[in-house]
Amino acid sequence: GENVEQHPSTLSVQEGDSAVIKCTYSDSASNYFPWYKQELGKRPQLIIDIRSNVGEKKDQRIAVTLNKTAKHFSLHITETQPEDSAVYFCAANPSGTYKYIFGTGTRLKVLA
């Protein structure tokens, strides 16, 4: 089955700097890769996603890149703000299913 690894587990950046979180997946058949932001005790919120036929997607300060050959994808947050502080999860969706296999999470702290 699919296995998703995520790094780093914690990340501290100064406000205004960029943050990058990386994930690798094992199932080459996975074709959809969402990123979620989760605040303590709340449901995950989808912040950006990318499909396997696209290499990069950007939405304001957030971007995701996908390297299908290497089976890894990354989340890039630019001009970080304190409200970006949260836990971020990547996920992979094996083709033909609606299952999401989540990474282990990254706790991002943006220091004011």
Q: Does the protein bind another protein through residue 51 (CB under 8 A)? A: no
* 112 burial type by CB count under 10 A (0-12 exposed, 13-18 middle, 19+ buried): exposed
d(CA 50, CA 57): 7
- The 67-96 site mask, x for binding another protein (CB under 8 A), equals ----------------------x-------
CA atoms within 13 A on the CB side of 1: 6
Q: Does the protein bind another protein through residue 33 (CB under 8 A)? A: no
Q: Does the protein bind another protein through residue 100 (CB under 8 A)? A: yes
Q: Does the protein bind another protein through residue 31 (CB under 8 A)? A: no
Q: Does the protein bind another protein through residue 13 (CB under 8 A)? A: no
